[in-house]
Amino acid sequence: MIRVTPIQTGTVSIRPHHHCGEAGKGPIRRKIDMLLDEDWVEDLPIYTYLIEHPEGNFLVDSGDTAENTAKDYLPAWHPFFRHGVIVKVAPGEEVGDQLRGMGVDPSVDLKALILTHMHHDHAGGLHHFPHTPIIVARENFLLANSWKGRIFGCLPQYFPRWLDPTLIEFSDRPFGPFPQSYPLTKDGNVVLVPTPGHMRGHLSVIVRSPDVTYCLAGDSTYDERFLLEELVDGVTYDVELSKQTLRQITALGQQEPTLLLPAHDLRVPERLSKGLCLPRKPVRRAT
């Protein structure tokens, strides 16, 4: 049996131009727009995902920590953290507590924790997994631990001292529309693919079950509508690269029934309960 279960670890509030940048604007202008915003989008969920697979349980992302709500947790020198994000995580909402409530011991019942990337709302719960193998793309880990990583939304000062993840690099092994991949399970049904744009070294997790394929997309897109309309967030470092990632995910949905599961999409529960796959374009037949 293969099953994917979302675990909501609190919410995050962001600015409209963070959620979706304006067409025709590059990365720098998009960041300026984010800082000039005065409105907020509706509180968005912070999802992690539990993958149950015959070879073991895998967790995708660790969510954020309740400490993020404490005064002075986020660096006051950083304009984004000062102006552009509000995280709300109650202590019992942290991923370790929720896993234990599901009967999953995070210290012994996970084969690996996979990080799509190391922004604070994806790596803030690392302290729950001192005995769990952790997997992240090498490029993303190196960036997250640099001064550029601090500028671009990472908090390496809070990474656990014991953190020593497996750093992967993708091989030229095509998987569907993705030219590179990294197989995680022996049966080939759980595969990591590069989905850069939101952050360097960002990856997504593809899970094939007998009935449907799940695309655990991290922050490749915040919303299925943005994916389908090729609308890119304000955080991107390369708009065209982000659009290429969106096209590859969309192409996966054309090739096989695919449920899109980003980290902050409000419609994830509905999509899962109703089996709402990415829309597939009808095949034109020659006349």
Provide mean pLDDT across the span 172-193: 97
Contact 139, 201 (CB under 8 A): yes
Query: What is the tens place of the pLDDT at every residue in 185-235?
Result: 999 999 999 999 999 999 999 999 999 999 999 999 999 999 999 999 999
Provide mean pLDDT across the span 154-161: 96
Structural domains of the chain, with CATH = 3-274 (3.60.15.10)
Return the SS3 of 270.
helix
The pLDDT assigned to 161 comes to 96
Q: Measured between alpha carbons, how far is 134 from 111 in angstroms, rounded to an integer?
A: 9
The pLDDT assigned to 282 comes to 65
Query: What is the tens place of the pLDDT at every residue in 225-278?
Result: 999 999 999 999 999 999 999 999 999 999 999 999 999 999 999 999 999 999
Q: Nearest to residue 20, comparing CAs of 240, 222, 257, 256?
A: 222
Encoded tokens for 158: 């809070």
pLDDT above 60 for 284: no
pLDDT above 60 for 287: no
The pLDDT assigned to 71 comes to 80
Q: Measured between alpha carbons, how far is 102 from 183 in angstroms, rounded to an integer?
A: 27
The pLDDT assigned to 283 comes to 52
Query: What is the tens place of the pLDDT at every residue in 40-97?
Result: 999 999 999 999 999 999 999 999 999 988 888 999 899 999 899 999 999 899 999 9
Which pTM value belongs to this model? 0.95
Q: Measured between alpha carbons, how far is 265 from 219 in angstroms, rounded to an integer?
A: 10
Q: Helices marked H in the chain — which ranges?
A: 16-19, 27-36, 79-83, 95-101, 120-123, 138-144, 147-151, 224-228, 239-255, 268-274
pLDDT band at 138 (very low <50, low <70, confident <90, very high): very high
